[in-house]
Structure 1
Amino acid sequence: MYGSQVPRTVCSCLAVLTSLVLSTPATSHGAPVSAEKPATHKIDFEKSVRPLFVKHCQDCHGPDAREGGLRLTSRKNILLRNDSGEPAIIPGNSKESLLLHRVSSRDESEQMPPADAGTRLTQQEIQTLKQWIEAGADWPTESEEPKHWAYIPPVKSPLPEVNSSFRINNAIDAFVAKKLSQQTPPLAQSPQASPARLLRRVSLDLIGLPPSPEDVIAFEKNPSPAAYEKYVDKLLKSPRYGEKWARQWLDLARYADSNGFQADQLREMWLYRDWIINALNADLPFDQFTIQQIAGDLIPKATLDQKIATGFHRCTTCNVEAGVDPEENRVNQIFDRVNTTGLVWLGSTFECAQCHNHKYDPFSQQDYYQIFAFFNNTPLEVKQLGKSVTFEVTGPKLAIPLAKEELKTREQLTAERLALQKQLNQRQKDLKTAWSEWEETTLALLENSEEAGKIPANVRKSLRTEAEKRTKKQTTALTQYQQQQDAEYTDLDQKLSQVREQLTALEPDSTLVMVEMPEPRMNNIFKRGDFLSKGAAVTPRTPDALHPLKTNATPDRLEFARWLVARENPLVARVTVNRWWAQFFGHGIVATQEDFGSQGDAPTHPELLDWLAVEFMDHNWSMKQVHKLIVMSATYQQSARITPELLEVDPYNKLYTRGPRLRLSAETIRDNALTISGLLSTKMGGPPVYPPQPKGLWRHVGRNAPKYLTSTSEDRYRRGVYVIWRRSAPYPSFTNFDAPDRGACVINRSRTNTPLQALTLLNDPAYVEIGVGLAKRLATKGLDSDMTDRERIKYAFRLCVAREAKPIEVDHLTKVFEQELKYFQDHPQAAQKLIAADDRPEGVGASRMAAWLYVANILLNLDETITKG
């Protein structure tokens, strides 16, 4: 990635415009170049011009370098706008061609090539170059390097023939097995994972939750391919599927419930999050999934859901700090939209071209701002608060219409509010009329010390102050006290407050969406990415390096979205299936998920990647179909056990010699633990929730800071996808397990191991509650039967890691339980302090609950519990 400034190296100056224009360019020897008309004979490019470029310019402007945004490798490249915003030559006009000016210049700071980079051109060479430009800069043969693999549309290769010793469930296995057989010496697949581990793996992968012990035991009794497929189909139909896979997409969409930056106030975006979950559960074809998020508002007769979907590009951060330049803020948001679109759908680092031509990939700065133009027809997204220097988020919002019953209730409550307000106003007038009598009566009470003591001190002082000498504050205090003492007034005021609360609860939910302005904006290249430094004008257009945009009209965001998911696009399907593959196996077939360009990694299994991409498109862009293909493959179902031999030949499992073994994501660790404890709520959708977290984390500098009001209902136990996401302070246990702040698009989360993670699982308030929940589940299991504590421990193992516990593991945990039980029986006060009265189920004493809590904590903190293997 490149920053907003390109170093001003001597070499890069070849493609930078300067304000100095010499009327009589000179040769390197100082002699003026002849102003006469160049000779009319044709310049042979191959014999006279190409050798000149190779001799003097190749190191800085050849196929491996693009200093100043210029490559002298083809006519197309030399005519491309370089970092200055202008082309190096203008065919037929040598006088206005920057290239000729620079090679002829006397100024050492701009003459090309610089003294330390090569020999200067002779007068004859300059004359040759001038004649070539004047004659039209003919370039008979293109000398571009071969097209990068990622820009060639994928095709399905025939399935390779492989040795019968391999387990081949589908095409994935054929391609992987072929690669294994080509190694020296040839490699074999690992055995299939045990039924319990396989069922837990696929359940965590597809719905982000572990299987029940009952499902595991049933599958162990019949671990047939048919039984496995039936279970996979059940997972794919589960509403939990969308909740699990939404997490990855929300990282891409940089979804959050706050604006970002210093103030980081909250905003409503959760309707977009719910749209993602519902779309994934419905297996909305990915091409429509894309179009609706980028341009749902422009679809003819757009539905409410299609408009909500455009929240994808309203998830950008928004700066509302004092002194913000609203236009700069808007432009930065569009930069983010272009960059995010490039990363998510094209696997391309577009941001490199924000300030200069991409140095490695075939995207110019002009390409960047032509894409920018598709998103540039949007209104300002902040507004000034009155005459202050502060702002608030605005821009297009969509209010969700209320149901008929809600509208009727709202009308009734509104009428009731108006009636109550009218009665309250009348009562205020009545009290004002009776003021003198009330004041006299209340003053009389002051003579009685017992009655006077019931009157607030500020009211007593105000009453004793002469009326004409009372301050406004004193008068207000007396008025309020009079109203508070009036039963009729207080009754009306209380009823009015209740009605207002009911009306507030019926306020329609809203969400930020995209809309087009009626009048299009002008679009320009920004020199060096500076929005105040406008260069050449551009219009909406897609990069020439990719497939053409099929439209004759002025294209808009909808045309751009359709162009993205056209069959001819060589990138979208590849990038998407590769990202999903990485979620299952821990790394993509292309390791650099965000970069499919020339600086990214080559695919380890290119034929497999292309086969999956075409299969994806051929099956109506179905996400679930691709996911089922992956989990049904023998490659996925392999044991994750690693041997010394495999560690030697395939340490990072790039050849897929074994199944995946990965630490769970932050949200899944919590969801998994909640499921194990029996606390998980399956309630779907709605505003974000506030599970327990350490106090004081939301305290920060800034105005109107929101408060963290911990949920008290089942909301505190809902899935991680619904947890409030404040960018300046994301949920702490998620942060400790590598969740991003979502200030920008995140393609692939890091995966670390730190002491903080162990401390989180042991001490975080949410995980302490989860531990108590599991202890309660174990302590009450089989109370109405003859279930032993040893059997409860076996059941706990099934809950936590799915597999059957080994005898040595049961022995150890039984010993721990008995030791802790004896301690707490000898120290009942310690048990009562550890286990609150509300957490002691009937029939289970505090000592037993405390002992089970120790066992629960051990199991919840096992590496195996937080790992998919």
Structure 2
Amino acid sequence: MPYPLNHWLATVGFGLAFCILASGNRLRAEEVDFVRDIRPLLAQKCFTCHGPDEGTRESGLRLDLADGLFGELESGAQGIVPSDPQQSELYQRLVADEDLRMPPLDSGQRLTSDQIGLIRRWIEQGASYRSHWSFEPLDPTPPAEVEAEDWVENQVDRFVLAKLAREGIAVSPAAPPQTLVRRLYFDLIGLPPTAEQVDAFVADRDPNAYEQWVDRLLASPAFGEHWARRWLDLARYADSDGDLGDKLRPNAFGYRDWVIQAINADMPFDQFTIEQIAGDLLPQATLAQKTATGFHRNGLKNTEAGSDQELDRVVRTVDRISTVGSVWLGLTVGCAECHSHKFDPLSHRQFFQMYAFFDNVEDVDLKTGHGKVTVATIAETKQRRETFVHLRGDFRQPGEKVRPAAPEFLHAFEPRSGKPDRLDFAYWLVDGDNPLTARTTVNRYWMHLFGRGLVDTVDNLGVSGEAPTHPRLLDWLAQELMRQGWSRKRLIKLIVMSATYRQSSQPRADLVDRDPQNRLLARQARFRLDAEGVRDVALRTSGLLDHRIGGPSVRPALSADITAYSRNRDWVVSEGGDRYRRGMYILYRRATPYPMLQIFDAPDTTASCARRDRSNSPLQALTLLNDPVFVECAQHAACYSDWQTDVDWIPQAFRRFLSRDPSAAELARLRVFYDHQRQTLAEFTEAQVRALCGESFAVASADQHDLREQAARYLIYRCLLNLDETITRE
């Protein structure tokens, strides 16, 4: 990550920085909560022998169900007697003599004294039991009344304020308008505002001005690009097959274009789901609806000569159901491929019942009517396959025969006919009685707007995941999403219109110990942009960005060392505006991904990715200094920016990159740096200047003074591009 301005200048633009992130203890209430405290403990220590897996269950005892915990045991004693640890046989086995104590010593799962004490406290407090929170029906309790009504902008704020009030924590002040408009632009369209847009936002005195700006950004075509890129992470989109062959998929972009168009049109999320799961099965399915099923074609595919094609088909089918379970249910469904899930109530058999929905599909490339361009889709096979449980996950060891069905521990599965298909499964996923799809979806949108989800484990709402920090808010938002016709634009607007969203992200001393991870939302979050966003900022602020939407993937400039590698010898750099398209359009080859995207933590696309990592490494600073696109951006800004003879161009350049005015100290440092570079460059020959700035460095005129002036400005722009603040959303 780049240095702040003063450090960057002190080392003439070549310093590196490291960040140390503080972490704190998890917030806990004194009352023992079964879902938060007890069930994870049982899952870790007891479910191997007394959980949902029939193959490993001993003594017929299931501790993942209420009947097993509270029912009568084989001995005739009662497992758990509320308020009475002495009469609770299961507790007594935890503290019994060595030969009777559970779990057995050789299991390596003995509980600590603190863990045993936690279970005792839970029993003494009445052994309150409830099923895992995410499997329960939505409970959209109205928000509580709060005292600070003058701060509230909408219902979201009441939920947040009520929790802060219980903790005795105050909210943060609103972010400065320059910060807020920059935040809005980054969050909604993934691009920074221009200096003129910042000025217009600050000067807008209309009482409804903020809402009007939000509406304009939601209507921007760039909105669909930005949020489509996030969906493509979930869909594990790439432009090649992966595996050893890594064959290119030249027409994969058809699915990407469909996602952009669907999001810009605010296609209801339930319809968005149905078309991707089973668009080909809809009555009179259109080409667009069939294109949506390209979701299932995004996974890895082994095209190596001599490979076992049936094995590859099975692996891809497993990937499809695992991905669907992760994306829509927020569960680690793939864990049940080889055995019943160790934590969630999903059996080995149920996994293959879901597998059966996808066991009878085949890949189909459809003509689009545009020359040789095709789109990758799926369709039902003409001959039906029989589906069997794969014992231990091995398709060569078929077990019980199963029919397609959805796991009913969430809600009932009611197919349209006696032959359930993928369309029935899609309808089940978005049924109003399914508590997981809406919860999972709103949690991810919240994460993108606050840096973390209401449930921190955005890819796991199951038993082994985190509990929500604001469960009532999560359920209320999930209900609102469905009530508002599954409109994602309305959901995003609801969140960004809240006072909670508009808070400053500045750290507070009073929160360092009490809420270091900002789980209570007493302030906004500050975080680095995603990989594509880092590149897009440079292109936008330099004036190079090509705003065209959709179409084939592009190939920006690559180092000769990388193109020399056999897989990239066909990397022909795109010409004209194509090389300056947004980052989401860069051709992503799984075996050799575009280096800049890798360095800034783009996912490898081998599996669905709900949340990207945000690392902080010296390579990132070096990339901003030396990657061809960032060098070109600095060159373009220096050569084609508005030429002025006075020194006022420096604050204008600063505002262009950071959306705010520089402080007096920052401006002074930049001017000193600029003057120093001009003096140094005055002694350079033209050849030396070009060697410093690159062979492609252009000049506005043949005048040597102009050449050195441009070179000095070029170095200023490289400095601004390398600032931490330039690539950070606050």
Q: Distance in 2 between matches of 1:168 and 1:527?
A: 55
Q: Which residue among 384, 388, 408 is the counterpart of 1:524?
A: 388
Contact 2:47-2:342 at 8 Å conserved across structures: no
AA of the residue aligned to 2:595: P
AA of the residue aligned to 2:375: T
- Describe the superposition over 1:35-83 as per-residue Cα deviations: whole angstroms up to 9, x where unpaired: xxxxxxxxxxxxxxxxxxxxxx988643699872668346998999xxx
Contact 2:557-2:573 at 8 Å conserved across structures: yes
Unaligned runs of 5+ in 1: 1-56, 81-112, 120-142, 380-394, 403-506
Residue 560 (structure 1) aligns with: 425
- Describe the superposition over 1:256-301 as per-residue Cα deviations: whole angstroms up to 9, x where unpaired: 0000012212012100000001101000000000000110111110
Using the size of structure 1 for normalisation, the TM-score is 0.69
Contact 2:228-2:263 at 8 Å conserved across structures: yes
Q: Which residue among 634, 637, 658 is the counterpart of 1:801?
A: 658
Q: Which residue among 188, 192, 195 is the counterpart of 1:210?
A: 192
Residue 841 (structure 1) aligns with: 700
Moved more, 732-741 or 163-172: 163-172
Residue 237 (structure 2) aligns with: 255
Deviation at 1:654, TM superposition (A): 0.7
SS in 2 for 1:537: strand
Q: Distance in 2 between matches of 1:686 and 1:275?
A: 11
Q: Distance in 2 between matches of 1:60 and 1:193?
A: 50
Distance 1:717 1:158, change over 3 A: same
1:601 aligns with 2:458: no
SS in 1 for 2:615: coil
Moved more, 576-585 or 550-559: 550-559
Q: Which residue among 542, 546, 549 is the counterpart of 1:684?
A: 549
Contact 1:728-1:741 at 8 Å conserved across structures: no
Q: Which residue among 733, 754, 759 is the counterpart of 2:617?
A: 754
1:832 aligns with 2:690: yes
Moved more, 583-592 or 815-824: 815-824
1:341 aligns with 2:309: no
Residue 72 (structure 1) aligns with: 60
Contact 2:47-2:63 at 8 Å conserved across structures: no
Distance 1:217 1:750, change over 3 A: same
Deviation at 1:803, TM superposition (A): 1.0
- Describe the superposition over 1:100-145 as per-residue Cα deviations: whole angstroms up to 9, x where unpaired: xxxxxxxxxxxxx9999779xxxxxxxxxxxxxxxxxxxxxxx996
* Residues 330-729 of structure 1: pairs in structure 2 closer than 5 A: 330-379=313-362, 395-402=363-370, 507-551=371-415, 552-700=417-565, 707-729=570-592
Contact 2:52-2:64 at 8 Å conserved across structures: no
Residue 305 (structure 2) aligns with: 322
Contact 1:729-1:741 at 8 Å conserved across structures: no
Deviation at 1:609, TM superposition (A): 0.2
- Describe the superposition over 1:583-620 as per-residue Cα deviations: whole angstroms up to 9, x where unpaired: 11111000011111111100000000000000000001
AA of the residue aligned to 2:183: R
Q: Tell which has more relative contact order, 1 or 2 (C-alpha 8 A, sep 6+).
A: 2
Moved more, 348-357 or 802-811: 802-811
Q: Distance in 1 between matches of 2:128 and 2:348?
A: 19
Contact 1:71-1:77 at 8 Å conserved across structures: no
Contact 1:207-1:240 at 8 Å conserved across structures: yes
Distance 1:146 1:67, change over 3 A: farther
Residue 822 (structure 1) aligns with: 679
Residue 722 (structure 2) aligns with: 861
Deviation at 1:225, TM superposition (A): 5.2
Residue 265 (structure 2) aligns with: 282
Q: Distance in 1 between matches of 2:697 and 2:311?
A: 55
AA of the residue aligned to 1:743: T
Alignment RMSD: 2.6
Distance 1:537 1:76, change over 3 A: farther
- Describe the superposition over 1:416-448 as per-residue Cα deviations: whole angstroms up to 9, x where unpaired: xxxxxxxxxxxxxxxxxxxxxxxxxxxxxxxxx
Distance 1:64 1:179, change over 3 A: farther
Distance 1:259 1:60, change over 3 A: closer
Q: Distance in 2 between matches of 1:644 and 1:366?
A: 52
Distance 1:284 1:841, change over 3 A: same
Q: Distance in 2 between matches of 1:589 and 1:608?
A: 8
Distance 1:255 1:220, change over 3 A: same
Deviation at 1:808, TM superposition (A): 1.6
Distance 1:776 1:69, change over 3 A: farther
Residue 37 (structure 1) aligns with: none
- Describe the superposition over 1:317-355 as per-residue Cα deviations: whole angstroms up to 9, x where unpaired: 001223310000000000100110111000101111100
Deviation at 1:544, TM superposition (A): 2.1
- Describe the superposition over 1:847-868 as per-residue Cα deviations: whole angstroms up to 9, x where unpaired: 0111001100111111110100
Distance 1:376 1:77, change over 3 A: farther
Q: Distance in 1 between matches of 2:58 and 2:206?
A: 61
Q: Which residue among 155, 164, 169 is the counterpart of 2:153?
A: 169
1:850 aligns with 2:711: yes
Deviation at 1:511, TM superposition (A): 1.9
AA of the residue aligned to 2:285: A
Deviation at 1:378, TM superposition (A): 1.9
Q: Distance in 1 between matches of 2:669 and 2:402?
A: 72
Q: Distance in 1 between matches of 2:304 and 2:453?
A: 40
Unaligned runs of 5+ in 2: 1-44, 69-98, 106-126
Contact 1:263-1:701 at 8 Å conserved across structures: no
SS in 2 for 1:636: helix
Deviation at 1:837, TM superposition (A): 6.5
1:304 aligns with 2:302: no
Q: Distance in 1 between matches of 2:55 and 2:636?
A: 62
Deviation at 1:839, TM superposition (A): 1.6
AA of the residue aligned to 1:226: N
AA of the residue aligned to 2:432: R
Contact 2:50-2:57 at 8 Å conserved across structures: no
Deviation at 1:191, TM superposition (A): 0.5
Q: Which residue among 153, 158, 161 is the counterpart of 2:142?
A: 158
SS in 1 for 2:151: coil
Contact 1:200-1:802 at 8 Å conserved across structures: yes
Q: Distance in 2 between matches of 1:359 and 1:740?
A: 27
Deviation at 1:842, TM superposition (A): 3.8
Distance 1:706 1:838, change over 3 A: closer
Distance 1:605 1:66, change over 3 A: farther
Q: Distance in 1 between matches of 2:59 and 2:565?
A: 49
Contact 1:546-1:569 at 8 Å conserved across structures: yes
Distance 1:114 1:690, change over 3 A: farther
Deviation at 1:836, TM superposition (A): 4.1
Distance 1:368 1:64, change over 3 A: closer
Contact 1:361-1:598 at 8 Å conserved across structures: yes
Q: Distance in 1 between matches of 2:361 and 2:565?
A: 32
Q: Distance in 1 between matches of 2:550 and 2:176?
A: 35
Q: Distance in 2 between matches of 1:242 and 1:672?
A: 17
Q: What is the total number of aligned residue pairs between the two structures?
A: 629
1:813 aligns with 2:670: yes
Residue 124 (structure 2) aligns with: none
Q: Distance in 1 between matches of 2:583 and 2:553?
A: 10
AA of the residue aligned to 2:60: L
* Residues 71-150 of structure 1: pairs in structure 2 closer than 5 A: 72-73=60-61, 146-150=130-134
Q: Distance in 1 between matches of 2:583 and 2:421?
A: 36
Using the size of structure 2 for normalisation, the TM-score is 0.82
Q: Distance in 2 between matches of 1:79 and 1:355?
A: 26
Greater Rg over alpha carbons, structure: 1
Percent identity reads: 43
